Amino acid sequence: MASVISVKQKAIDEEAISSSLAAAAQPDSVRFADLMAKAREAAGLDRDEVAELIKITAPAQLEELFHTAAEIKQRIYGNRVVLFAPLYVSNECVGNCLYCGFRRDNDLCQRRTLSAEEIVGEVRWLIDHGYKRLLLVYGEHPKNNVDRMVEDVHTVYNTRHDGGEIRRVNINAAPLSHEDFVKLKPAGIGTYQVFQETYHRETFEYMHPVGPKANYDWRVTVWDRCFPAGIDDMGLGVLFGLYDWRWDLLALLDHARYLDSTYGVGPHTISVPRLEPAYNTPLASNPPARVSDDDFRKIVAITRLAVPYTGMILTTREVPEMRRECLRLGITQISAGSSVAPGGYTERNPNDEDARQFEPGDRRPLDEVMYDLCDQGYLPSFCTACYRSGRTGRDFMSLAKPGEIQHFCLPNALLTFKEYLLDYASPETRRIGEQVICRHLDSIETQALRRETEARLARLDAGERDVYF
């Protein structure tokens, strides 16, 4: 109990967040210029600085904020966009979160937990379409325990299909105990995601009335059990729309800073889902704290400036146009072609809304998204090299913070995208994709690295696969 209290005081200080938000004023032009100058140093922003940026409304300042976020995004991540797909393993849940299609009281939800054979079927489908990174998603249910997760991770990694395989498995599930994280570690997962949904305790308790998820402290302290168990890629998130986004954004960034200062490793990713309608779930259609498109852009841009080296994830909750805008402002990873119902890839049924967690806003298949990314000047990437080379946690951050990780990211993006073009792309995507590869090869700064990347691309052309730096 003592650790819960001390963590709560250090990670999320509700009074300090409220005071900071109340005290902050829209910065005048001199102060705003100072804030943008600091943001450009890419060393992050503190709570009060974020609160000031939250308050800006002047169109010229908003424009400058977006411009600076785009500049930082470009400088650190270039044009690369990492792609993944969620694999919903189970929508069985003892929780009754008021906003979720899987909530216990939704008796119209078709419940299902995939068997190992069904997971293999879904994974084969995903491999067949070019995916390399998966996120396993579980409802909170006693049967979705750590033993089950370990088995599923092995099932995914052991599934080979037509020369392809999944190379990184991440998990989005309930917070585990330290002992369970210790059990999970050898399975070789990438990131473990637990979203706090809202950091505002009173709202959290209202939204999560029953089940293990009703315990705010157990959830907010998850990383204090996860990191010591050796899983150092941690994924944070807020479900925007449950409580005032301004407050939740400050809390989310406080949580990120807490991890950085406590463990020397900030979150690997921050996700920014926005509440979307869900089948037979009235609250999801009427968000208690609806976030406008303008405010959502602010959330993405401010997060980019506050934690420049943290990957930012946007899912298919958002419509294509918003996804394009957010990629420019700071998003580094997106899901694409996603099904958000168990079994939804192999049994693709456009009317399966009664098994989905929410209504997706972007239903385009992966290849269409890949074409669109190329058309917008981006370089799609399925890179999984860091995790497989042991560059995680502190090792990863020691490369990421000085910007050195870029020397790996760009060549690896080119190699994994090339694999996609050779094995899975439509002729149109292949055509535009090859142009994207040529352009980005030219942008590799050192000649030796460019030559080595060309040599490895040639090995892919010759039939070799899974080539990376």
State the DSSP H helix or E strand holding residue 235, giving kind and residue range, or none if neither.
Answer: strand 234-237
The DSSP bridge partners found for residue 381 are 82
Neighbouring CB atoms inside 10 A of 66's CB total 19
Residues in touch with ligand SF4 (CB under 6 A): 82, 93, 95, 97, 100, 102-103, 139-140, 213, 381, 383-386, 405, 408-409, 412
Name which of 99 and 181 has its Cβ closer to ligand SF4. 99
Q: How far is the CB of 100 from ligand SF4 (least distance, A)?
A: 3
Q: How far is the CB of 191 from ligand SF4 (least distance, A)?
A: 11
Q: What DSSP state is assigned to residue 462?
A: T
Name which of 36 and 100 has its Cβ closer to ligand SF4. 100
Instruction: Give ∠ CA 183-184-186 in degrees, rounded to 5.
Output: 85
Please name the residue that has the structure tokens 């439509």: 426
CA distance 462 to 464: 6
Q: How far is the CB of 94 from ligand SF4 (least distance, A)?
A: 7
Name which of 404 and 454 has its Cβ closer to ligand SF4. 404
Q: In 244-321, at which residue ranges do the beta strands (DSSP E only) sit?
A: 269-271, 311-314
CA distance 210 to 198: 16
Identity of the amino acid at 113: T
Q: CA dist 299 to 59, 194, 240, 387, 397, Å?
A: 16, 19, 9, 28, 23
Could you tell me if 247 and 40 are in contact, meaning their C-beta atoms sit under 8 angstroms apart? no
Q: How far is the CB of 132 from ligand SF4 (least distance, A)?
A: 11
Identity of the amino acid at 295: D
Q: How far is the CB of 171 from ligand SF4 (least distance, A)?
A: 13
Name which of 100 and 370 has its Cβ closer to ligand SF4. 100
Name which of 204 and 408 has its Cβ closer to ligand SF4. 408
Q: How far is the CB of 281 from ligand SF4 (least distance, A)?
A: 9
Q: How far is the CB of 390 from ligand SF4 (least distance, A)?
A: 11
Name which of 20 and 384 has its Cβ closer to ligand SF4. 384
CA distance 348 to 341: 10
Q: How far is the CB of 320 from ligand SF4 (least distance, A)?
A: 23
Name which of 104 and 225 has its Cβ closer to ligand SF4. 104
Neighbouring CB atoms inside 10 A of 325's CB total 17
Burial label for 42, CB within 10 Å (0-12, 13-18, 19+), is middle
Q: How far is the CB of 12 from ligand SF4 (least distance, A)?
A: 20
Q: How far is the CB of 197 from ligand SF4 (least distance, A)?
A: 7
Q: What DSSP state is assigned to residue 392?
A: -
Residue environment code for 133-142, b if the CB has 16+ CB neighbours within 10 A, otherwise e: bbbbbbbbbe
Query: 3-state DSSP call for residue 340?
Result: coil
Give the up-direction half-sphere exposure of residue 23: CA atoms within 13 A in the CB hemisphere: 10
Q: How far is the CB of 140 from ligand SF4 (least distance, A)?
A: 4
Structure tokens belonging to residue 264? 């020397």
Residues in contact with 118: Cβ distance below 8 Å, sequence separation at least 6, in sequence order: 342, 343, 346
Name which of 61 and 416 has its Cβ closer to ligand SF4. 416
Name which of 79 and 412 has its Cβ closer to ligand SF4. 412
Name which of 408 and 424 has its Cβ closer to ligand SF4. 408
Report the largest interatomic distance among the alpha carbons of the chain, rounded to a whole angstrom.
Answer: 62
